Amino acid sequence: MNLTVRLATVFLLTLFSFMSFVGIRSMFVSSITAPEKTSVGLEPVPVAVVCLILMLLVCWVAFVWELPSVLANLRARRRLARGRCGQCDYPLETDCTRCTECGCELVPPRPLELSLQWVERAVLLLVGCWLLGVSVGEGWIQLDQRDASIRLIESRAVDPEVDQITWDRRWPGIGELRVRWRPLPDAGE
């Protein structure tokens, strides 16, 4: 349960970073050339910075990471208040310092408060997921553009007159990409 919540948090944040990066990057790269590669549009770094700013919209998701420990804390305090072990819910005998069932100490957990540690962890989580999403996103864009270049080269094999094609961007990319033919310069020149 704890692991599921935490993995889901990482997954959601990374997915957000990935989708926003690929979406913005595909909108701002309008055309490429093949087989000699050049592209017209924004470079990955400014797009990544924009994505980091957009991560602020979902920064609250990072606190879902703390949910399992918050719930465990509340449950333990509620059980102790009812005269049961905070860990295993076993009814307690009077005047004991340890649970007779699971052996854990019967000290009430500290009350919950928003600590600096939480904020630090949330920032770390956001930056980590941002980096991961942006890196995978850039790889995704490069693969999509490579496939588009291959399509142009294949089209030219059928009809050498074809000198450009339009390519529908692969999800979550947005719009179309124009691929223009640009022969590689001769080695002698």
Q: Where along the sequence are the contacts to Zn ion (CB under 5 A)?
A: 85, 87-88, 90, 99, 101-102
Number of neighbours of residue 19 by Cβ within 10 angstroms: 16
- Alpha-carbon torsion angle 133, 139, 144, 150, nearest 10: 180
Tell the smallest beta-carbon distance from residue 125 to Zn ion (Å): 32
Tell the smallest beta-carbon distance from residue 108 to Zn ion (Å): 14
Tell the smallest beta-carbon distance from residue 111 to Zn ion (Å): 21
**Residue 28 or residue 90: which is nearer to Zn ion going by CB?**
90
Residues 6+ apart with CB under 8 A from 149: 32, 34, 35, 37, 179
**Residue 8 or residue 88: which is nearer to Zn ion going by CB?**
88
**Residue 81 or residue 102: which is nearer to Zn ion going by CB?**
102
98, 106 Cβ separation under 8 angstroms = yes
Place of tokens 């049961």: 84
Residues 6+ apart with CB under 8 A from 145: 29, 32, 39, 177
**Residue 19 or residue 72: which is nearer to Zn ion going by CB?**
72
Tell the smallest beta-carbon distance from residue 97 to Zn ion (Å): 12
